[in-house]
């Protein structure tokens, strides 16, 4: 009888240790292209002894890859359902299409918007006496991907179709919000105020399940917001913004906070350099809490900002209620109360009620 250095059981133990050490790496690899040896369902001891160590390793490797696929599929089935699943899937499809732009924040047109205490804004001919309380407001917001994290876990089919199932990556976003005195015939219907908000941010799609909640994403970005004016009408600030997004089957929750990049003080009131609005954090706030709730076809989205001050606590609330009229558009009712409705009015308390249309967002 030939002398063996290792028994069959010892060899299997060595191979099993090798499989275990490389299991995490193997789970991320694409399916094995090399054909594994054919093994009978109930191999005999002689058949096992006839297989070489390399053949047993390749067969076990293919089995582990198949097992990892089954585990991932089972995890997806057991994932907590999220109200944001449809939104996430839409963004994935848009990112895979080079001819599409994704919504960053909601896009809407409010032809009827009544504000209780509007300022004259940036228009030269507007004054506190001739500014209309009724105007139109609209917001345009979009984002484009700059860089995606390499997706080693994507299957061959997804790689061939260039469909990225993970939204993790670097993005550029742009938002413009305007207030238009379209019904003001005295001063030729000027734009009272427009705010521009370019930003670059990194999103990590977590998709972690915790009890009955889903941890959807975390985000960090550099944000600039201004009204594009100069002199006494100039308003602007730069922030580093941190955002966390959570959800369950019919609700979404967000926590957003920021650190304002410091600026030098102005040497004079009309100094073109320096801080245009050094107290903006005291009015617009330092933290924002978001809540979205979907009940059948009705969506309710609320945003609450607060300055976290104990001496002079100031807040603002924005409430949006939508109802679909087509597959693309919703009727939007919007209510705002507080500070920061626009940059020109950041330190002016405002109450606003509006009605219009919004592109489907949830």
On whether residue 2 sits in a domain, the answer given is: no
Report the C-alpha gap between 164 and 151 in whole angstroms: 8
Does residue 180 share a domain with residue 111? yes
On whether residue 1 sits in a domain, the answer given is: no
Mind listing the pLDDT tens digit for each residue in 199-256?
999 999 887 887 788 889 999 999 999 999 888 888 999 999 999 999 988 899 999 9
Does residue 185 share a domain with residue 50? no
Does residue 353 share a domain with residue 234? yes
Does residue 313 share a domain with residue 199? yes
Does residue 217 share a domain with residue 106? yes
Last residue of a domain, one of 58, 78, 98: 78
On whether residue 3 sits in a domain, the answer given is: no
- The stretch 24-34 carries a mean pLDDT of 43
Residue numbers of the domain that contains 324: 85-359
Does residue 97 share a domain with residue 68? no
Q: Tell me, what CATH number does 238's domain have?
A: 2.40.230.10
Does residue 293 share a domain with residue 196? yes
Does residue 37 share a domain with residue 114? no
* CA–CA distances in Å: residue 178 to residues 158, 182, 228, 274: 40, 11, 12, 25
* 218 compared with 6, residue with greater pLDDT: 218
Q: Work out the mean pLDDT of the chain and round it to a whole number.
A: 82
Does residue 100 share a domain with residue 58? no
Report the C-alpha gap between 86 and 169 in whole angstroms: 19
Q: Per residue in 27-43, is it b (16+ CB within 10 Å) or e — as a string?
A: eeeeeeeeeeeeeeeee
Does residue 222 share a domain with residue 330? yes
Report the C-alpha gap between 148 and 166 in whole angstroms: 8
Residue with tokens 């047993």: 56
Number of domains in the chain: 2
Q: Which residues touch 199 (CB under 8 Å, ≥6 apart)?
A: 172, 173, 174, 221, 222, 223, 224, 241
pTM for the predicted model, two decimal places: 0.74
Report the C-alpha gap between 284 and 173 in whole angstroms: 21
């Amino acid at each position: 009888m030939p002398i063996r250095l290792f028994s069959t059981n010892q060899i299997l133990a060595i191979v099993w240790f090798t499989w275990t050490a490389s299991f995490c790496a193997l789970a991320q690899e694409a399916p094995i292209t090399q054909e594994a040896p054919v093994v009978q369902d109930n191999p005999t001891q002689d058949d096992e002894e006839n297989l070489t160590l390399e053949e047993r390793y390749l067969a076990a490797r293919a089995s582990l890859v198949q097992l990892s696929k089954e585990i991932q599929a089972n995890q997806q089935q057991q994932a907590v359902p999220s109200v944001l699943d449809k939104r996430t899937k839409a963004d994935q499809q848009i990112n895979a299409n080079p001819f599409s732009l994704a919504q960053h924040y909601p896009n809407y047109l409010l032809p009827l918007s009544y504000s209780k205490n509007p300022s004259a804004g940036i228009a030269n001919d507007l004054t506190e006496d001739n500014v209309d309380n009724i105007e139109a407001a609209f917001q345009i917001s979009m984002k484009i991907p700059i860089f995606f994290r390499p997706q080693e876990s994507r299957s061959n089919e997804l790689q061939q179709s260039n469909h990225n199932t993970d939204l993790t990556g670097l993005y550029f976003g742009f938002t413009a919000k305007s207030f238009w005195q379209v019904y003001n015939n005295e001063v030729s219907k000027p734009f009272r105020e427009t705010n521009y908000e370019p930003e670059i941010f990194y999103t990590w799609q977590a998709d972690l399940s915790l009890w009955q909640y889903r941890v959807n994403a975390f985000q960090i970005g550099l944000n600039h917001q201004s009204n594009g004016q100069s002199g006494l009408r100039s308003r602007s600030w730069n922030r580093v913004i941190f955002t966390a997004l959570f959800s369950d089957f019919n609700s979404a929750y967000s926590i957003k906070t920021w650190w304002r990049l410091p600026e030098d003080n102005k040497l004079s009131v009309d100094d073109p350099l320096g801080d245009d609005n050094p107290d903006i954090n005291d009015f617009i706030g330092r933290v924002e809490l978001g809540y979205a709730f979907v009940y059948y076809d009705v969506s309710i989205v609320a945003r609450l900002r607060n300055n976290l001050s104990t001496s002079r606590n100031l807040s603002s609330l924005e409430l949006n209620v939508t109802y679909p009229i087509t597959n693309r558009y919703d009727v939007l009712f919007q209510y705002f109360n507080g500070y920061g409705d626009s940059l020109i009015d950041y330190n002016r308390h405002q109450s606003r009620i509006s009605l219009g249309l919004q592109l489907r967002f949830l």
